Structure 1
């Protein structure tokens, strides 16, 4: 069950063949009401200001999630070109301007950092987009993602991208999240650590327990991490309501990532409402569901991730 169960959406990945990086696009070609909530202290974003409820643009046509740090924002230009060629965009006089907000994560230290998603990568992700169940794990924007870096990247594990959805009262809520956190990933239902900082003695260190015991984190670069994602629904919602949904969805990150929203992360969640279900849902209910599917998407990302040399994944541990 993925975000593509939300009527009116398609999802596509581009995974670079030359190093672990890529981008992921969520297409809403007919337009969708959108919001955003930026919680990390070092974000890399594009077109976020227009999503403020007080600003005039009412719909977007895609959301891009990308690796490559700020360089990866270039991939949004390829998404714009793909939409423009098909006549999708905001009507401005005789012109149509595709609206494509974007956010990036830092993966430049995994492989050759000179190789980043560009406009061609964004265009290719659009070409690959469909409403089918998407691949999860080490693909698209999650290809070079890592977690558990508070005590140094040498102890990190592989992150990834995951998706989940729920349907309640005829309304579907879904999420896709690229997990590249400085912190650990914990299953809130069981309390079990799934991935995070590894211990020199083998196994997982448990970052939160180590901090409580007085361990000091290694000096890290601000913004060298970041978890980014999209929560979406086919309910009929307003721009003000979708801003609140994006805020509530961050609870799903807080349940699964420890620590989260740090000075080393640029955590960003976008929200989309296609209205394709033709009905609404009370915003508090919808926001609660959004937090749940966000949490499940994080867990799915980690369970599906595959390791790299020196970067084991969850599935590499017994």
Structure 2
């Protein structure tokens, strides 16, 4: 098994777009030939688009793009730009009078950072598609859907840290499996190699992590609305030949990557969602694809945190380590 770039997975293109004033952005993964699609929604507060048609019982077999976006539910508008881009290239489900691109999507809540009136829209979604034409390297950190991401928000923004966008991918023989993720969790981010918190809720002095799960345990008997803008969303891309049912299974297995790196994951205040896009180029056992997807997802989450930059008062992993002399 070797490390590769997510962007090098056969059959896909990836593009990003951001707004500096809004501190928000979007990331699109395109498969113009069509990909077997799957999805698994585990969080209690999802914002999603076109997830029902990924049920294996539904008619449409292939999807053409998935967009991850900031802006909360407003950010779902960015998918319109992806549809315009693909329709302009004659790509989509043929309905006779035109071809309808099948574009799925999910959003994170990042309205509390930057100008909340500026959200990813149709224009930004189209721009991300244009940018996919020239993207040859994986971009991570304050990029695309991760531009306004934050983590460790159990006590609000003053104790939280910067999140971001991360990716990772592996190749075994001809099989390629990768993950891309916008990390915007309520909980803390854990390095699974040593079980240590690397980002999350901080004390007022920014000198130590408070441990979100321990804070929640102290108030186990209180029903508290902890909504402060969360959700981690991602995409598994693979060149494996998968059915829709298998693609859904891979998305489900990839949530183990969330469980290994985010504590707690899948809360009622997170809309944690993972899509699968399988470009159907090579044979690959679904079980192998699934556990590679899990490994890629956990590494992508760590990469997001370690590559982000401080923004709008939220300190990054890198700046915190420098401040603490590590």
| Same fold flag (TM > 0.5) | yes
Residue 16 (structure 2) aligned to one of 13, 20, 32: 13
d(CA) in 2 for partners of 1:119 and 1:211?
39
Residue 232 (structure 1) aligned to one of 227, 233, 237 = 237
Corresponding residue number in structure 1 for 2:130: 127
Distance 2:23 2:297 in 1: 24
Structure 2 runs not aligned, ≥5 long = 322-326
RMSD of equivalent CA atoms: 1.6
Partners of 2:189 and 2:79 lie apart in 1 by 29
Structure 1 unaligned regions, length at least 5: none
Q: Deviation of residue 169 (structure 1)?
A: 2.9
Q: Tell me whether 1:116 sits opposite 2:129 in the alignment.
A: no
Compute the TM-score of the two structures, normalised by the length of structure 1: 0.95
Aligned residues: 315
Equivalent residues in 2 for 1:193-212, closer than 5 Å: 193-201=197-205, 202-212=207-217
Kindly state the Cα deviation for residue 317 of structure 1 after the two structures are TM-superposed: 1.7
In the alignment, what sits opposite 2:72?
69
Q: How is 1:154-233 mapped onto 2 (pairs within 5 angstroms)?
A: 154-201=158-205, 202-212=207-217, 214=218, 219-220=224-225, 222=227, 224-233=229-238
Are residues 10 and 60 of structure 1, via their aligned partners in 2, closer, same or farther at CA, if it must alter by over 3 Å? same
- 2 CA distance for matches of 1:246 and 1:223? 26
CA distance in 1, matches of 2:60, 2:198: 40
Map residues 1-318 of structure 1 onto 2, 5 A cutoff: 1-130=4-133, 132-201=136-205, 202-212=207-217, 214=218, 219-220=224-225, 222=227, 224-276=229-281, 279-318=282-321
* TM, length-normalised to structure 2: 0.93
Q: 1:79, 1:129 → 2: CA distance?
A: 11
Provide the secondary structure at the position in 2 that maps to 1:94.
Answer: coil
